[in-house]
Chains A and B, each alone.
Chain A
Amino acid sequence: MNRSRPQPPSSALLLAVALCSGFVVLAAARQEQPDHSREVTLSRQAPTASFPLDEQRMKQGKTIVALELKKVDNPSHAEYSIEVTLAGCNGAASSRQAPVGSLGVYPTGQEGGRYALDLGPALKQLLALGQTLRNTCLKMQLKPMRAATDWKRLRVTVSSPQWSDPGEEAPPPK
């Protein structure tokens, strides 16, 4: 263990830290807003993304959504998962959330995959607690598998939610 006396930080370093902190805060705040874009890239710097629900479909009980890992940039071979929850769209720490599932990767190193999730049980739970449908978002959070995982250079691009029940989809390709 390095036990040398800590040096006082230089003003340049303090400025850099302040700028970086501000950037991280801004980036995090941006990610908490509902995202209507086609794809979102999750990383250590911006680990979360939030999507509004398709209210019309939800009201009809069509609660199944598909998410696709479109691109994975993972030079350090970091093991990761993407936690999926339903939560308040405003990103407030106090907002309620309910677990939906997780986009896991097996075998490790696989660079893609399509995932189906039923939001119904989680939505039912939140609505019962008084949350409104309009203020409920689908939230994704990139997480390293283990505390020691080096995920600094990990970037995972995920499709926007594809609102589609299995019965509405075309049969699988031959």
Chain B
Amino acid sequence: MAWIDSLSRRDFLKGASAFGVMNAAMWLGGCEGCQQQIANRPTRRNIANLAANDPVIQAYKDAVHAMQMLPTNDPRNWTNQASIHQNHCPHQNWWFLPWHRAYLLYFERICRKLSGYKDFALPYWNWTTSPAIPSVFWGDGNPLFDSTRFIGPSDLADPSWVGAPVIESILSTNNFYVFASYPATTQRQGTTYGQLESTPHNNIHGWVGGDMGAFMSPLDPVFWCHHNMLDCLWVEWNINRNNPNTNDATWLGLHFTEFCDENGQPVDVTAGITTLFPAFNYQFEPCGPTHTQNLKLQQRAALEAYLKQGAPVRLDFTQRVELKRTITAPIGRPVVSAAKIEAQTISSVLASEGKTSALLTVDGVEVPEKTEFYVRVFINKPDAGPETPISDPHYAGSFGFFQDSHEMAGMAAGATHPKFGFVVDTTPALRRLSQSGSLAGSVDVTLVPVAYEKRRAEGQRLSIDKLELGIANVK
């Protein structure tokens, strides 16, 4: 279970809420047609490419104004949001990037909700190509203006901080620590600045000055677009240039619990989960000095580099039952496999209040040449077929493929196809069946390959190395 073991830690299921329901569902089962939704995830744009009356700019102004008007007991209130930074921001250590990524994600969601603009994606300020603070941040009465700044609209950031040669140099290191700052053991322990933090980050803060020069810097609306550029450069370094993040468990496992979602509810997200955000939640217009837009790489790297080479910490499985090995089935023919699991084991999972889950792990799923189908999973329904609705109480979830079709088509005949692993949380289905009294001592799993609507999948086949049902501690 190469990548799923590496991706999935006990915090994964909990942290997956950060993806939003549809994104988490793809990997945990229960979502169909997610590829399209992920492919269409919002694009964070270069603010220089947006007209002053662009809906994104207007929505950002509306959202900032709305947050400024919220009562002080609302965690989404403008000053309260800045206080999160003041009280919790990690600097001069390796949580600098993931913490700010999560901070921006939830801020973006708040903006989306309060502006009422459902397509809102936070724009970024590309100081390399536009070294002055963009014009939309200036003007009395403008919610995006901050009067404490030390600079004016025509001042330019120094090329030694943000110029293309220095940014290119920073992006050229392949060392995570040097790029993203050094290890620490606690969230606010300062150790050593990496180059992204020390050079463009620190200097832009100090140069803009005023609120931006201090830890209440998010009071200045330009803060969010400044950090969005840093996030974009992290994506450029990590995904587009294939530099791996650390897989150190200490880094991955730190929980950030100080953020709130768009409804003002507290959230809990780990640093490890933030590495997946660019694959699921948003994408960027290119921002690196020498970036060449490469959609193939974006799609493949996002899912392969992150999901296959992610966190090293494994789910804490207490029991694994092998259901089947080496499965090959043509599309349209369900695969049924059964395992005996003691009723008491299932009962304890259902009684654990979410502390344990029954996870179906599907290992070594060969990516077909044409990904014209996906796979539905049913529990204790051996007669399930493509026509069985997903509203059926036995339905546990689904998994699909997300692979660049051009790359697959370009593979030589007979070449080994890449293999993915998937996990489906069967606990909700087991609970439904238990409540209806239709759960006996054994658990059947039926995999049903289903062609996508209006696609032709004849002649394709589903090939799996191993199918297991496991009981895992997830909290």
* Segment among A5-13, A27-35, A116-124, A150-158 that sits at the interface with chain B: A116-124
- Would you call B172 and A120 a contact (CB within 8 A)? yes
One of B158, B169, B181 near A143 (C-beta < 8 A): B158
Contact B177 A166 (CB under 8 A): yes
- The reply to whether B191 and A172 form a contact with Cβ atoms under 8 Å apart is yes
Binds A, one of B14-22, B131-139, B193-201: B193-201
Residue among A103, A117, A172, A174 facing the most chain B CB atoms (10 A cut-off): A172
Does A102 sit within 8 A of B, measured CB to CB? yes
Q: Does B58 contact A (CB under 8 A)?
A: no
- Say yes or no: B203 contacts A104, CB within 8 Å: yes
Contact between A121 and B169, CB atoms less than 8 A apart: yes
Interface string of A66-101 (1 = CB under 8 A from B): 100000000000010101000000000000001111
Minimum CB distance partner of B204 in chain A: A104
Mask, B209-224, CB within 8 Å of A = 1, is 1000111010000000
Closest-CB distance, B160 to chain A (whole angstroms): 4
**Is residue B161 within 8 Å, beta carbon to beta carbon, of the partner chain?**
yes
| Chain B residue contacts of A143, Cβ below 8 A | 158, 160
Min distance, Cβ A99 to any Cβ of chain B, angstroms: 4
Q: For B201, what are the chain A residues with a Cβ–Cβ distance below 8 Å?
A: 104, 106
Chain B contacts with A in 168-189, Cβ cutoff 8 A: 168-170, 172-173, 175, 177-178, 181-185, 189
- Say if the beta carbon of B163 comes within 8 Å of chain A: yes
How many B residues face the partner with a CB closer than 8 A?
A: 44
Name A104's contact: one of B155, B169, B202 (CB within 8 Å): B202
For chain B, residues 216 to 246, give those with C-beta under 8 angstroms from any C-beta of chain A: 217
CB closest chain-A residue, reference B190:
A113
User: Can you list, as one digit per residue, whether each of A132-174 has a CB less than 8 Å from chain B (1) or not (0)?
Assistant: 0000000000010110000000000000000001100001111
Contact string, A48-82, partner B, CB cutoff 8 A, digits 1/0? Answer: 00000000000000001010000000000001010
Bound complex: CA of A145 vs CA of B208, how far in Å? 9
A130 is an interface residue with CB less than 8 A from chain B: no
> A108 touching B213 by the CB < 8 A rule?
yes
Looking at the assembled complex, report how far the CB atom of B67 sits from the nearest CB atom of chain A, in whole angstroms: 23
CB distance from A71 to the nearest CB of B (A): 16
Contacts A79-B213, A115-B198 given; indicate if A99 touches B165 (C-beta within 8 A).
yes
- Cβ of B192 < 8 Å from any Cβ of A? yes
Given A106-B205, A166-B175, A174-B185, CB of A101 within 8 Å of CB of B151: no
With the chains together, A113 CA to B205 CA distance in Å?
Answer: 16
Identify the closest chain A residue to B191 (Cβ). Answer: A172
- Tell me whether A107 and B213 are in contact (CB under 8 A): yes
Instruction: Give the residues in chain B near A101, CB-CB below 8 Å.
Output: 166, 169-170, 195, 198-199
In the complex the two chains form, what is the Cα distance from A98 to B166 in whole Å? Answer: 8
User: Quick one: closest A residue to B164, CB to CB?
Assistant: A99
A101–B202 alpha-carbon span in the complex (Å): 11
Cα A98 to Cα B195 with chains together (Å) = 15
Assembly CA distance A83 to B159 (angstroms): 10
**Contact between B192 and A102 (Cβ–Cβ < 8 Å)?**
no
Query: A114 contacts the other chain (Cβ, under 8 Å)?
Result: yes
Whole-angstrom CA separation of A165 from B175 in the bound complex: 9
Give the interface size bracket for A toward B.
35 or more
Let me know if B206 is at the binding interface, CB within 8 A.
yes
B112 interfacial contact with A, CB 8 Å: no
Contact A118 B175 (CB under 8 A): yes
Partner of A98, one of B165, B177, B209: B165
Closest B residue by C-beta to A108: B213
Cα–Cα, bound, A9→B292 (Å): 60
**Complex CA–CA separation, A168 to B172 (angstroms):** 21
B199, A145: Cβ atoms under 8 Å? no
B378 to chain A, nearest CB (A): 48
The CA of A50 and the CA of B398, in the complex, are separated in Å by 61
Contacts of A64 in B (CB 8 A): 175, 178
Residues of chain B within 8 A (CB-CB) of A83 are 160
B117 within 8 A of A: no
Asked if B214 and A146 make an inter-chain contact with CB atoms under 8 angstroms apart, the answer reads no
Residues of B near A173 (CB, < 8 A) are 185
CB within 8 Å for A108 and B203 given contacts A98-B165, A114-B191, A120-B172: no
**B168 proximity list for chain A (CB < 8 A):** 121
| A173 vs B182: C-alpha distance when bound (angstroms) | 12
Q: Which of A104, A113, A117, A172 contacts B206 (CB 8 A)?
A: A104
CA distance in complex: A28, B217 (Å): 37
Shortest Cβ distance from B82 into chain A, in angstroms?
13
When distances are taken between beta carbons in the complex, the residues of chain B under 8 Å from A122 are: 169
| Known A99-B169, A102-B199, A106-B201: A113·B193 in contact at CB below 8 Å | yes
CA–CA, A99 and B128, complex, Å:
14
Evaluate whether A146 and B155 lie within 8 angstroms (CB atoms) in the complex, with A104-B202, A108-B206 already known: yes
Asked if A146 and B151 make an inter-chain contact with CB atoms under 8 angstroms apart, the answer reads yes
Does A105 contact B202, Cβ atoms closer than 8 Å? yes
Interface string of B84-107 (1 = CB under 8 A from A): 000000011000000000000000
A107-B205, A143-B158, A165-B175 known; 5 new pairs, CB 8 Å cut-off, are: A101-B166, A102-B160, A114-B191, A116-B193, A166-B178
4 pairs of A and B residues whose beta carbons are closest in the complex = A104-B202, A121-B172, A118-B173, A104-B203
* Sampled A-B contacts (25; CB under 8 Å): A79-B150, A79-B209, A79-B213, A81-B158, A81-B160, A81-B206, A99-B166, A100-B169, A101-B166, A104-B206, A105-B206, A106-B91, A106-B201, A107-B205, A108-B213, A116-B177, A116-B193, A117-B195, A118-B173, A121-B168, A121-B172, A145-B206, A145-B209, A172-B183, A172-B191
